Amino acid sequence: MNADTTADTTADTTAILEVRDLVKTYGAGRGLLARGSATRAVNGVSFTVRRGSTFGLVGESGSGKSTTARVVCRLASADSGRVLLEGEDVLRARGARLTAFRRRVQMVFQDPFASLNPRWKVGSLVAEGMRIHGLVPPARRRERAVELLEQCGLRADAVDRYPHEFSGGQRQRIGIARALAVEPDLIVLDEPVSALDVSIQAQILTLLTRLQQQLGLTYLFIAHDLAVVEQFCDRVAVMRSGELLEEGSPAEVYSNPRHPHTRLLLDAVPVADPRRRRHRAPLRSLEEDHASQP
Ligand SMILES: Nc1ncnc2c1ncn2[C@@H]1O[C@H](COP(=O)(O)OP(=O)(O)OP(=O)(O)O)[C@@H](O)[C@H]1O
Ligand SMILES: [Mg+2]
C-alpha cells in the first residue's frame, strides 16, 4: 500500500471527510515580486464531516467558502494542510486514485450549467460521468439517465431537451441528477439554492433530504442564508476572512454564538444579500415560463 493511502492515526471512524489546517493563497505568484498582493482565501481551516450528515459552511461574501469547497473537490490546489476522505489523503492522490476520488466526491454549483456545453442534451450531460468512469454499459446509459431525472422529480422526456429549456429549479434538479450519475459518497453543494425563489428552494431542499435518506449521501452545504442552513444542516461552521470562527449544531451556534461576527451574520437580513436580489427577477420569470412541469 502506498504511503498516501495509510489511514490517519487520529482519524475519526464515523468521519467521511476531514479537513485539517487548510491554507490556500491566491495571487502570490512564484516570484519574489508577486508576494505583496497575495490573498489568503483559506487560512488554517479544520473541520470534520460525519458520514450521512449535512455540514453547513456559512459566512459573508469572500470569506473563503467556495475556495474551501474547490480545494476539497480538487478543483483548486492547496498551499498546505490535509484533506482526508475516509482517511485517504485527497490532495496527494494521483492517477487511478485521483479518478476514483473524482467519482466519489461531486460538486453542485449555484448555476449548474454555467460551465457546461449548452448544445448538449440533458441526457448526455447526465450520462457524462457514467461515460468518464465507465459505470454503466453504453447501451443502458440513456435509460439510467431517465431513471436519475425521474428520481430528481423531472419527466422522462427531459432527457432529449436542452438545459436552457428548463427553469432554475429544474436545472438544479438536472445538476443533482448529473452528480448522482456516478454514485458519489459526498456531494459538495456550493449555494445550490441561493439563486432560487423561496418556494423552489424548499422543493430542492426536500429533494436533497429524500436523496440523502435513500442513498446514504453526505453533504457539504455552502450557503449565505442562515435560515436555510438551520433547517437543513446537522452541523454548521462560520467562516470569515479565510478562518473558521466557530462550529456546532445550528441550534448551538445560532442561539448562543461564541463569536461576535456570528451575531452580526445572524442579524443580517438574508434578502439584503445583493446576489440573491440580482438573481431573483430573471429566475422568477424563467420559473413562470416553465411552471407547467410537475
Ligand atoms: N480564482 C481566484 N483568484 C484570485 N482570488 C480569488 C479566486 N477565487 C477567490 N479569490 C479570493 O479569495 C477570497 C475567498 O473567495 P471565495 O470565493 O472562496 O469566497 P466565498 O466565501 O465563496 O464568497 P461568496 O459568498 O461571494 O461566494 C476572496 O477574497 C476572493 O476574492
Ligand atoms: Mg462562493
Are 72 and 188 within 8 A, CB to CB? yes
Q: Note the pTM of the prediction, 2 decimals.
A: 0.86
- Closest residue by Cα to atom 1, ligand 1, is 26
| Confidence label for 157 from pLDDT (cuts 50, 70 and 90) | very high
Grid coordinates 436580489 are at which residue? 277
pLDDT at 191: 95
Helix (H, G, I), strand (E, B) or coil at 24: strand
HSE-CB for 32 with a 13 A CA cutoff: 0
Query: Rounded to an integer, what distance in angstroms lies between the CA atom of residue 246 and that of residue 263?
Result: 12
Q: What is the pLDDT of residues 83-94, one digit of tens each?
A: 999 999 999 999
Q: Assess whether the C-beta atom of 182 lies below 6 angstroms from ligand 1.
A: no
Grid coordinates 454499459 are at which residue? 137
- To test ligand 1's pocket by mutation, which of 66, 79, 224 has the most ligand atoms within 8 angstroms of CB? 66
The secondary element (H helix, E strand) that includes residue 100 is helix 95-104
pLDDT at 4: 44
Ligand nearest to the CA of 59: 1
Q: What is the pLDDT of residues 94-149, one digit of tens each?
A: 999 999 999 999 999 998 888 778 899 999 999 999 999 999 999 999 999 999 99
**Domain edges within the chain:** 15-25+39-118+187-266
Interaxial angle between packed helices 141-151 and 122-133, expressed in degrees from 0 to 180 and rounded to the nearest 10: 120
Ligand 1 atom having least distance to the Cα of 69: 18
Residues contacting 271, CB < 8 A, separation 6+:
277
Copy the grid coordinates of residue 185: 459518497
Query: Rounded to an integer, what distance in angstroms lies between the CA atom of residue 232 and that of residue 250?
Result: 9
Find the largest Cα–Cα distance for the chain: 59
Q: Assess whether the C-beta atom of 28 lies below 6 angstroms from ligand 1.
A: no
Query: Rounded to an integer, what distance in angstroms lies between the CA atom of residue 152 and that of residue 84?
Result: 29
Mean pLDDT of all residues in the chain? 86
Q: What is the pLDDT of residues 4-59, one digit of tens each?
A: 444 444 555 699 999 999 999 998 655 555 556 788 999 999 999 999 999 999 99
Q: Bridge partners of 49? A: 17
Copy the grid coordinates of residue 126: 447526465
Query: Rounded to an integer, what distance in angstroms lies between the CA atom of residue 182 and that of residue 164?
Result: 23
Query: Rounded to an integer, what distance in angstroms lies between the CA atom of residue 26 and that of residue 22?
Result: 13
- To test ligand 1's pocket by mutation, which of 61, 67, 72 has the most ligand atoms within 8 angstroms of CB? 67
pLDDT at 81: 98
Residue 70 CA, ligand 1 centroid: distance in Å = 10
CATH topology of domain 15-25+39-118+187-266: Rossmann fold (3.40.50)
Q: Bridge partners of 188? A: 107, 220
Query: Rounded to an integer, what distance in angstroms lies between the CA atom of residue 166 and that of residue 285?
Result: 12
Copy the grid coordinates of residue 279: 438573481
Helix (H, G, I), strand (E, B) or coil at 248: strand
